[in-house]
Amino acid sequence: MKQRIQIMKQSTLTDDEIEAYQDFDSLIKQAHSTSNKWVYYAGGAIAITAVVVSIWWKGQQEIPTLSDKANQEILPNTPVVNKPEKIVLADSLLAVVPEKGALPEKKTEKVDDKASGENKLKLVGYKQAEPAGGYERLYNYFNQELHYPESALRDSIQGVVVIDFVINIFGKPEQIRIQQSLDKACDTEAIRVIGNMEPWLPASLNGKPVSARVSVPLTFQLLKPIQE
């Protein structure tokens, strides 16, 4: 790329000149027209999806009954279920540390999942995977084990790592992968903590254990210094 270097005595632009180009109303109009396009695209996509689903539905003679409890994906290739259902589970955990504290004191807390109880699928005879000691014990484990990485602290990195993993038929987490990355150190920490979890009670269908994929968002957030 060619570059042209030009040294100026002072800035050639005044505030008034720039303000003449400022037009928030036009920006809003453009934004609306852009979002309308997406509505059309989304409408088209939904229509196509509906057609595909209806064709698939007709082809399924032995489809399990749906109910509203299960919130994990049953993996394909299990001996019992042929078709995977959707992932819905999302229990969120919040890793919080003071920004300038001597100790990166950390607490985790459960964040309400708006989606819980809504639009979730349940198969009759299906029991979802759950931590052997219950969720309370799992959160305590995260409280103790999830550390804010030093590099993330230094760079004031905050945000969410969404991690998913499979609880296999023996209750062990495997196929751990990052769904939404935050930064390398936070991702690595999330993977470490998930990998070291105690065994879970595996999901089961009609009494037989099946693998299930679980998705968990972990929030890394810096607290304001106490003196402020």
Q: What is the binding site for other proteins (CB under 8 A)?
A: 1-13, 15, 17-19, 21-24, 26-28, 30-32, 34-35, 151, 154-160, 182, 222, 224, 228
94 token code pair? 């919040």
Q: How far is the CB of 175 from other proteins (least distance, A)?
A: 26
Q: How far is the CB of 106 from other proteins (least distance, A)?
A: 17
Nearer to other proteins, 11 or 119 (CB): 11
Q: Looking at this protein, which amino acid is placed at residue 148? A: Y
Nearer to other proteins, 9 or 58 (CB): 9
Nearer to other proteins, 114 or 224 (CB): 224
Q: How far is the CB of 225 from other proteins (least distance, A)?
A: 9
Show the DSSP H helices in 76-161 as ranges. Answer: 134-145, 150-154
Nearer to other proteins, 11 or 65 (CB): 11
Write out the H or E segment, with its range, that includes residue 131: strand 130-131
Q: How far is the CB of 21 from other proteins (least distance, A)?
A: 4
Q: How far is the CB of 145 from other proteins (least distance, A)?
A: 23
Burial string for 64-101 (b: 16+ CB within 10 Å, else e) reads beeeeebbbbbbeebebbeeebebbbbbbbbbbbbeee
Q: How far is the CB of 10 from other proteins (least distance, A)?
A: 6
Nearer to other proteins, 116 or 151 (CB): 151
What's CA 15's distance to the chain center, in Å?
43
What does the DSSP assignment read for 154-219? HTT--EEEEEEEEE-TTS-EEEEEEEE---HHHHHHHHHHHHTPPPEEPEEETTEEE-EEEEEEEE
Nearer to other proteins, 11 or 61 (CB): 11
Nearest C-alpha neighbor of 106 from the set 149, 138, 135, 155: 149
Nearest C-alpha neighbor of 90 from the set 69, 118, 116: 116
